[in-house]
Amino acid sequence: MDLLNLPASVLCTLVGPPGSGKSTFAAHYPDSWRVCLDVYRRLATDSEADQSATPVAAEIQALLLDARLSRGLTTLVDSTNVFAHVRTSLIARARYWQRPAVAVLFDVPLPTVEAQNAGRDRVVPLHIVREHHQLLPDADQLQREGFTAVHPISELLATPGAPRR
């Protein structure tokens, strides 16, 4: 199922705070499309929250990004991506391989994010959720950064007949 009619060979960057629904959204797509720092941190340390493994996780993600983009395979980046420098480097990889780069913006209200975060097994500390929510860019900023298309999840969910994320 393709909720967004993603173009072929696209690099699709999910942008949203912890608990905003990025992995739930990504689960609508084939698992092999997804790159996710949490997964690689867990594979390296048995703990997805162990930030000491972020450098190695980032290396694994970069290798997979290049492997997939070079082959023209659609790729979803399932991390918060709220920091501009992280998005800049993702856009650079897409450009290097001459692939389109789109963003899905999880512009979910803070109270909803807090409730979703609180209601799951892996609860991220509240101050981190709030910090990340504050850093969330808007669609105009993402477009200025170079994303070829930006899909706010609020608009996607407002579409009649849209599935639950």
Q: In the complex, which residues of this chain contact ligand GTP (CB under 6 A)?
A: 16, 18-24, 38, 80, 116, 119-120, 124, 164-165
CA pair distance 145, 131, nearest whole angstrom: 21
- Would you say 31 and 147 are in contact if contact means Cβ atoms under 8 Å apart? no
Amino acid at the residue 115: A
Minimum separation from the CB atom of position 9 to ligand GTP (A): 24
Minimum separation from the CB atom of position 23 to ligand GTP (A): 3
Minimum separation from the CB atom of position 125 to ligand GTP (A): 11
- In sequence order, what are the beta bridge partners of 151? 104
In this structure, the dihedral spanned by the alpha carbons of residues 27, 29, 35 and 36, taken in order and rounded to 10 degrees, is: -10
The nearer residue to ligand GTP, 21 or 152, going by C-beta atoms, is 21
Size of the site for Mg ion (CB under 5 A): 1
Minimum separation from the CB atom of position 118 to ligand GTP (A): 9
Helices 84-96 and 54-70 sit at what angle, rounded to 10 degrees?
A: 30
The nearer residue to Mg ion, 9 or 23, going by C-beta atoms, is 23
- Would you say 65 and 110 are in contact if contact means Cβ atoms under 8 Å apart? no
CA pair distance 154, 133, nearest whole angstrom: 15
The nearer residue to ligand GTP, 53 or 99, going by C-beta atoms, is 53
The nearer residue to Mg ion, 23 or 148, going by C-beta atoms, is 23
Using CB under 5 A as the binding rule, the residues of this chain from 13 to 72 that contact Mg ion are 23
Chain residues in the site for Mg ion (CB under 5 A): 23
